[in-house]
């Protein structure tokens, strides 16, 4: 067992973990963050994506013991209980989810992408959006609504509707 | 599934990592980006007793060293998109990076990890073979270099000895008049390649002066066909014989069939992808001439 200190959603805590424990499992069990979903557990579905030190990372391909000292944000860090983050709101209005199992992974992959595009004041093409979310699999609603949600989250913030 | 138990070791220097790997032998594996090794561990296809975490040891520079481009083992795939030397001097390499996994994988996966894993469908092993790269390897006994063609021994098997670790790769620069392309077909974007083709051609203003073609995903290791490459020398950059070369290449490769695609399907796919990759490389060459 190793003692590791993680700052998760703004709270710093030390936990004792076996080396083989996946970050995804530690976030779910030790930190009670049930928004970290585990779909395939081998890096194919993207459900478990979290923000690790500022970058989207597959928490099923990461051992918790590797993350000593890291700052981690999960979907619970975005938008509060009412899910008020612009991307979460856009997923709702554009029907970007159905069962919702894959949604936290999509949100954690795409929120930094939306922020980057908003920062550049740029509306990406649908092909670019699809490339950005190509590591996430949705098995019920399809990707049309998710692409629309990304476009809406960006256009709501930069005030442009169309691709330049 | 979840991995079997192992002991985790955070290496504090390259020497420390090599000492640990020497101590653990076959039971030890370096841990870099984890994008290949950890899925294998989760599926219990790999059960190393010891992981040596080499993140943070440096080994992450891309630099010109005379007539080669040296890339450290810990360079993450995403970096290649912003590298002007790769874009200009190794164009097939840059095109291949677009086909690696997806953005999250590309941000974490490493060159050393990809080639040590030696997935027969992976892009970077094919790129190493395409450009006749040298794999730089270290152990407590010292350093050695292995030609890419001798490095990939079988599917998921390399000629690395226990205790050895890849520290970097050297890509010899092709001449200035070089063009290249990389095309791939998979069931889904970012999935394992059914077949992938890399082409690199050297040329003058109107003809191909030498060519390399590599195929991944169809044999146990990335494969070239010297006869097909030789047959392209002296041919026009307008590439009228691209289709003949593509067909000949697919026959030489003699692809395997598996659950994802039959051998016949792959043969047709390789012929088509090779034709298009040669045409694309020649088209880019004509634009620059």
Give the CATH number of the domain where residue A35 resides. Answer: 3.10.20.30
| Chain A nearest C-alpha distance from B38 (Å) | 5
**A147 plus A92 within the same structural domain:** yes
**A8 plus A73 within the same structural domain:** yes
Residue B179 has pLDDT above 80, yes or no: yes
Q: pLDDT of A138-155, one tens digit each?
A: 998 789 999 999 999 999
Last residue of a domain, one of A16, A51, A77: A77
Give the per-residue pLDDT at B15: 97
Task: State the pLDDT confidence band at B136, using cuts at 50, 70 and 90.
Answer: very high
Rounded to whole angstroms, the Cα distance separating A9 from A28 reads 13
**A21 plus A48 within the same structural domain:** yes
Q: Where in chain B is the domain with CATH 3.30.465.10?
A: 62-172
Q: pLDDT of A70-126, one tens digit each?
A: 999 999 999 988 999 999 999 999 999 999 999 999 999 999 999 999 999 999 999
Q: What's the average model confidence in pLDDT over B88-107?
A: 96
Give residues with Cβ within 8 angstroms of B42, minimum separation 6.
Answer: A22, A41, A42, A60, A61, B1, B2, B3
**A71 plus A95 within the same structural domain:** no
**A40 plus A68 within the same structural domain:** yes
Q: Does domain B178-288 have CATH number 3.30.390.50?
A: yes
Give residues with Cβ within 8 angstroms of B284, minimum separation 6.
Answer: B91, B179, B180, B181
Q: pLDDT of B187-230, one tens digit each?
A: 888 889 999 999 999 999 999 999 999 999 999 999 999 999 99
Last residue of a domain, one of A22, A44, A77: A77
Give residues with Cβ within 8 angstroms of A36, minimum separation 6.
Answer: A24, A27, A28, A48, A50, A59, A74, A75, A104
* CA A71 to each of CA A32, A56, A61, B53, B109: distance values in angstroms, whole numbers, following the listed order: 16, 12, 17, 19, 20
Residue A164 has pLDDT above 50, yes or no: no
Give the number of domains in chain A. Answer: 2
**A61 plus A94 within the same structural domain:** no
> Which residues of A have a CB under 8 Å from any CB of B?
2, 18-20, 22, 25, 41-44, 46, 49, 55-58, 60-63, 65-66, 109, 130-132, 134-135
**A39 plus A14 within the same structural domain:** yes
Q: Positive or negative CA dihedral for B98, B100, B104, B109? A: negative
Give the per-residue pLDDT at A27: 98
Domain, as residue range, for A40:
2-77
**A136 plus A153 within the same structural domain:** yes
**A39 plus A60 within the same structural domain:** yes
Indicate yes or no: CB of B35 within 8 angstroms of CB of A22: no
Mean residue pLDDT of chain B comes to 96
**A17 plus A57 within the same structural domain:** yes
**A69 plus A91 within the same structural domain:** no
Mutate to test the interface with B, among A19, A49, A127 (most CBs of B within 10 A): A19
Q: Does residue B223 belong to the interface with chain A, where contact is any CB pair within 8 Å?
A: no
Task: Please check whether residue A69 lies inside any domain of the structure.
Answer: yes
Overall CATH class of domain B62-172: alpha beta
Mean residue pLDDT of chain A comes to 94
Fold entry, domain B7-53: 3.30.43
Q: pLDDT of A36-78, one tens digit each?
A: 999 999 999 999 999 999 999 999 999 999 999 999 999 999 9
Indicate yes or no: CB of B189 within 8 angstroms of CB of A131: yes
Task: Please check whether residue A164 lies inside any domain of the structure.
Answer: no
pTM over 0.90: yes
Task: State the pLDDT confidence band at A162, using cuts at 50, 70 and 90.
Answer: low
């Amino acid at each position: 067992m190793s003692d590791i200190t993680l700052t998760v959603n703004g709270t710093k805590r030390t936990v004792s973990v076996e080396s083989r424990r996946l970050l995804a499992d530690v976030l779910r069990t030790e930190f009670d963050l049930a928004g970290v979903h585990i779909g395939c557990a081998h890096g194919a579905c993207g459900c478990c994506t979290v923000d690790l030190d500022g970058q989207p990372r597959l928490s099923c391909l990461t051992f918790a013991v590797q993350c000593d000292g890291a700052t981690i944000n999960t979907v619970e860090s975005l938008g509060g209980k009412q899910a008020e983050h612009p991307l979460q709101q856009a997923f709702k209005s554009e029907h970007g989810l159905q069962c919702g199992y894959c949604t936290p992974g999509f949100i954690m992959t795409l929120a930094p992408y939306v922020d980057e595009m908003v920062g550049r004041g740029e509306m990406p093409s649908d092909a670019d959006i699809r490339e950005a979310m190509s590591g996430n699999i949705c098995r019920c609603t399809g990707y049309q609504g998710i692409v629309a949600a990304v476009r809406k989250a960006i256009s709501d913030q930069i005030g442009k509707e169309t691709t330049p | 599934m979840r991995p079997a138990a192992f002991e985790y070791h955070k290496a504090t220097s390259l020497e420390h990592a090599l000492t640990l790997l020497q101590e653990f032998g076959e039971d030890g594996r370096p841990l870099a980006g984890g994008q290949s090794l950890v899925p294998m561990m989760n599926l219990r296809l790999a059960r190393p007793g010891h992981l040596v975490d080499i993140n943070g040891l440096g080994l992450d520079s891309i630099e010109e060293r005379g007539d080669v481009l040296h890339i450290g083992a810990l360079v993450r795939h995403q970096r290649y998109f912003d590298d002007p030397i790769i874009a200009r001097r190794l164009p097939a390499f840059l095109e291949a990076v677009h086909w690696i996994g997806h953005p999250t994988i590309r941000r974490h996966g490493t060159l050393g990890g990809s080639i040590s894993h030696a997935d027969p469908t992976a892009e970077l092993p094919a790129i190493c073979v395409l450009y006749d790269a040298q794999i730089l390897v270290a152990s407590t006994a010292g350093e050695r270099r292995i030609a890419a063609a001798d490095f990939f021994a079988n599917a998921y098997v390399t000629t690395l000895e226990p205790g050895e670790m890849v520290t970097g790769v050297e890509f010899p620069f092709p001449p200035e008049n070089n063009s290249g392309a990389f095309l791939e077909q998979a069931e889904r974007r970012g999935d394992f390649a059914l077949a992938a083709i890399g082409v690199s051609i050297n040329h003058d203003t109107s003809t191909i002066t030498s060519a390399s073609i590599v195929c991944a995903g169809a044999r146990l290791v990335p494969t070239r066909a010297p006869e097909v490459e030789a047959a392209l020398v002296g041919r026009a950059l307008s590439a009228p014989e691209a289709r003949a070369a593509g067909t000949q290449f697919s026959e030489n490769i003699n692809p395997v069939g598996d659950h994802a695609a039959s051998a016949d399907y792959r043969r047709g796919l390789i012929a088509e992808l090779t034709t298009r990759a040669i045409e694309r490389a020649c088209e880019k060459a004509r634009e620059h001439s």
